[in-house]
Amino acid sequence: MSHLSFFWLEANNHHHIRAIQSNLCYSIKKAARYNRLTLPSIPDTLLTLNILCENPETTVHDVANLLIDDPVLTANIIRTANSAIFNRRNIVCHNILTAVSRLGIIRIRDIITAQIIYSLKNTTIENIECNKLLKNSAHHSRQFAATMALICQKMHLYSNKPLKLEPEKALLTGLLADIGLFGLINEYSQFIEQGNYLDFNIAKYIFQDNCALTSHIVLNQWGFDADYIAVATNATTPHHTGDISYLTIARMAHHLLLFKANDAAIHEHEIELDLTGAEVMYELTNMPALEFEEQLKQITHNCGI
């Protein structure tokens, strides 16, 4: 199944066949099987926060005390807590304790991870092609995430019953859907350093094919829930109830972005929709391109991430 975050990669069967037959593809799958993939390098604060999230006795004071030692993270979290998408009651908070109380411990972890991953994608690395791909991923991840949030907002407007979906979580699942790309980039870099050669245009399709695998590993090891993993792997969870899920929203976003880009791949991409989903897709597919882009920009601006 196609990785939903790679909506920007043009379908190319020739490149795809060469990709899955390459030694690099075999090497990546082997590294994943034996748990030898290199995970993204993350700050100590996030590592400690992950440990706190696993402790059922952790309080908001514990998290606030951790974050207050990092002025940049503290400022970012307060800004995010006051952003339109996370502050639907429009009550301004002025300190980190209030921000953590409002957002919740797990949501704080998710937001910080998304912020750090976005920063890592915009960090310059030696390989020019990999560097360009990561920056491209940063841009398109935000586009994909904002589209998910927009669809989720519209679903609430059109639905005649309460939905257990939050636009802010839809945004975060979209932002982290291709988190496994770092491990793939690292495997490619090592492959090249060992004296091998592979056309980078072929490598992109290896990344697309294996991003679900590596993203699942990262999200699982870092303690993210089944919704994040479902979106990152484009696969329903074993306990899926049939209700509209974040994966449904992600597939709708993927389809919508293909449509907006006039991508021929849309003819091979099918989604199942209920009446509410169909109404949302009808509105958004008929929305003028400039208005659609403006709404996405507004969401990314308002999310504080």
pLDDT digits 0-9 by tens, 261-287: 887 667 677 788 899 999 999 999 999
pLDDT confidence of residue 117: 87
pLDDT confidence of residue 15: 84
Proportion of the chain in helix, strand, coil states, percent, rounded to 5: 70, 0, 30
Q: Among 122, 145, 169, which residue terminates a domain?
A: 122
Q: Are residues 151 and 299 in the same domain?
A: yes
Mean pLDDT of 215-236: 91
Q: Are residues 112 and 233 in the same domain?
A: no
22 in any annotated domain: no
Q: Are residues 131 and 211 in the same domain?
A: yes
Q: Are residues 294 and 147 in the same domain?
A: yes
Rounded Cα distance, 171 and 177, in Å? 10
pLDDT confidence of residue 17: 83
The whole-chain average pLDDT of the chain stands at 88
Q: Are residues 91 and 141 in the same domain?
A: no
Share above pLDDT 70 across residues of the chain, in percent, rounded to a whole number: 95
pLDDT digits 0-9 by tens, 42-90: 788 888 998 898 899 999 999 999 999 888 889 989 988 898 888 878 8
Give pairs for 243-249: CB < 8 Å, separation 24+: 243/164, 244/155, 244/163, 244/165, 244/274, 244/276, 244/277, 245/165, 246/148, 246/165, 246/169, 246/170, 246/173, 248/272, 248/277, 249/148, 249/151, 249/152, 249/155, 249/165, 249/170
Q: Among 122, 154, 172, which residue terminates a domain?
A: 122
294 in any annotated domain: yes
Q: Are residues 103 and 182 in the same domain?
A: no
Q: Are residues 176 and 280 in the same domain?
A: yes
Mean pLDDT of 132-158: 93
Q: Are residues 159 and 283 in the same domain?
A: yes
In this structure, the number of other CB atoms found within 10 A of the CB of residue 50 comes to 17
Mean pLDDT of 149-156: 95
247 in any annotated domain: yes
173: domain range? 126-304
pLDDT band at 18 (very low <50, low <70, confident <90, very high): confident
pLDDT band at 238 (very low <50, low <70, confident <90, very high): low
Q: Among 122, 154, 176, which residue terminates a domain?
A: 122
Amino acid (1-letter code) at residue 90: N
Q: CATH code at 275?
A: 1.10.3210.10
Structurally, the chain folds into a number of domains equal to 2
Q: Are residues 264 and 246 in the same domain?
A: yes
Mean pLDDT of 20-36: 87
pLDDT band at 241 (very low <50, low <70, confident <90, very high): low
pLDDT confidence of residue 240: 60
Q: Are residues 293 and 145 in the same domain?
A: yes
Q: Are residues 117 and 130 in the same domain?
A: no
Share above pLDDT 90 across residues of the chain, in percent, rounded to a whole number: 43
